Amino acid sequence: MSGAAAPPVGPLGRVGYGVGSIALGISIYVLSASVVQLYFNRVLGIPAIWVGTAFLASLAIDAVVDPLIGQWSDNLRSRLGRRHPFMYGSALPATVLFFLLWHAPGSLSGPALFAYSVVILLGVRLSLSLYEIPSNALAPELAPDYDKRTGLLAWRWFFMVFAAAAMEFLLWRVYLKADPGSATGGVMDRSRYADFGAMCSVLIFVCILISSASTHSRIRYLHTPPARRVSFADTLREVASAILNPSLLTVIFASVLGGASYGVTSSLSTIFYLDLWGFGAKQIAAMAIAVLIATILGVFGASAVSQRFGKKPSMIFFFATSLVAQLTPISLKLLGLMPPNSSPAVFWILFASVLVTYILVLMGYVIISSMIADVAEDQAVRAGSRPEGVVFAANGLVVKLNAGVGAFLASVLMTLVHYPKGAAPGTVPPDIIRHLAMVYLPTVALLSGGSILVLNLYKIDRKTHEQNLERLRELNAAAVNEPPPL
C-alpha cells in the first residue's frame, strides 16, 4: 500500500475514467449479437444456430481466462502499478482484432468462415478483457466511500450506454441508410459493415488510451501487493475464494439469469423492429435517441436515490419496474391491443417503452456495479488480500457468458419457430414472427424475474461496508508497523 494519502478524484479524473467505457459500450452493442447475429446470419449466410454456437464458444473460453487476468492484475508489481500495464497493453490488439472481425477474407465461406469468426471473436473478447477487468478494478480504490463510488461508476455507465446508443444510431442512420430505390437499404451490404467496424476500431483505440492516461497520476496512491511467489494452485484457490464470497455469489447467480435475459433481448431486438413492427433504418436509429435521453436522466440519478433509500431496495425496484415497461408493447401486440404498424402511435409507444425501460434499468445497473465494488472490501477482509480484479472478472465473465447463452437461446428460439435464413426485412411470414414473440415473452419474464428474486439475498449494507473499511485500515496499519524479518 502506498504511504501517501490519496486526494479525491476530481471532475476531470471521473470523466476520464468514464471515457474508457466507450470502448466497452461499442463492444456491448456490436458483440451482443444485436448486430453480429444480423450480419453473420443474413449478410454472410451463416446459419443462426452456428452464429449462436460461435458466440458461446468464444465466451466459454473467455470465461475461463477472465478470472486469471483479474488475479494476475491483483498481484502484479510494476512501476505502472497493478492495473495500468494491462490497460495500456490492450489498446492495439483490441483495435486490430475488432477491425478484422468485420473484414473477413472474401474467399472464406461455410465452415471456414465460421472458424474464422470464432477465433476473431475470442481474440476481441480477450483483448478487451485486458482493459476492462483492470480498469473496473480501479473503482474501489478510486472511490472508497459507500456513496461516492456510485457516483464514480455512474460516469462509467453514462459513457458506456451513450456509446452503445450512438453506435446504434450511426449504424442505422449513416452506415445502413437506405439508398434510393433499395428495398432493404444497406442492411444486406457487406461493405457497409466493414466501414462501420473500421470506425469502431479507431474509437476503441483512442478511448482506451485516454482513460488509461487519465488515471495514470493515481498510480502512486494505489495498493502495491506484497512480493510473493504465487503458484497456479494458489491462483486457483484465490479465485475460488473470491467467487465463493456469499454476496458475490448472489450477484453471480442473479447475473446468470439476468445476463441470459439481456442476451435474448439484445439478439432479437433488431429482428422485432424489422419484422414485428415493420420499422426501417430511420426508425430503428431513432430508438437510440431514447437511449441517449435515458442515459442522461437515469445514470446520474442512481446515486441520490440509493443514498436515500439504500442500494438493494432501490436496485430491486428499478429492475422489477423496467421488466414491466420492456415487455408491455409486445404483450399488447399479441393481445391485439396495439395500433396497426402503419399508425405513427406505434413508434411513439415503443419510443416511450425504450425510454422508461432504460432509465430504470440503468439506475439499477449503476447501483449493482457499486454493490460489486463493495464486495471487494468484504473479500479483502475475509482473505487478507485485495482481490478487486478477481471480483470484477468473476461477475463480468458471468455477464459475458450469459450474453452468449442469451444469444444461443435466441438462436434456438429462431430455429424452433423455423425463422428463415437470409430473409430480407419485411419478408418473414407474420405467423413466424408472432410465434417468435410468443416464446420470447415467457423466456425473458422467467429469466429476469428469477434474477430479481435472487438479488434479495445480497447482504452488504452501509454499516457492513464501513466496518470492512475500518478493518482494512487496521490491517494496513499493522502491516506498516510490522518489523522486517531477521
| Confidence check: pLDDT of 283 > 90 | no
By CB neighbour count within 10 A (0-12 exposed, 13-18 middle, 19+ buried), where does 5 fall? Answer: exposed
φ and ψ at residue 398, rounded to 5 degrees: -65, -40
- Its pTM stands at 0.76
Instruction: Give the residue, 485 or 8, on which the prediction is more confident.
Output: 8
Q: Domain segments of the chain: what residues?
A: 18-215+234-471
Instruction: Give the residue, 235 or 377, on which the prediction is more confident.
Output: 377
pLDDT at position 27 is 87
pLDDT at position 17 is 94
Of 175-179, 338-342, 396-400, give the lowest mean pLDDT range.
Answer: 396-400
Cα atoms in the 13 Å half-sphere on the side-chain side of 185: 20
Of 400, 48, 84, 40, which Cα lies nearest the Cα of 218? 84
Crossing angle of helices 302-309 and 344-383, rounded to 10°: 60
d(Cα 18, Cα 143) in Å, to the nearest integer? 13
Asked whether the beta carbons of 42 and 427 are under 8 A apart, the reply is no
Question: Which residues, other chains included, contact 312 with Cβ-Cβ below 8 Å and sequence gap of 6+?
Answer: 371, 455, 456, 458, 461
d(Cα 273, Cα 308) in Å, to the nearest integer? 38
Asked whether the beta carbons of 363 and 451 are under 8 A apart, the reply is no
d(Cα 376, Cα 248) in Å, to the nearest integer? 9
Instruction: Give the residue, 155 or 107, on which the prediction is more confident.
Output: 155
User: If you classify domain 18-215+234-471 with CATH, what class do you get?
Assistant: mainly alpha
| Confidence check: pLDDT of 1 > 70 | no
| Confidence check: pLDDT of 2 > 60 | no
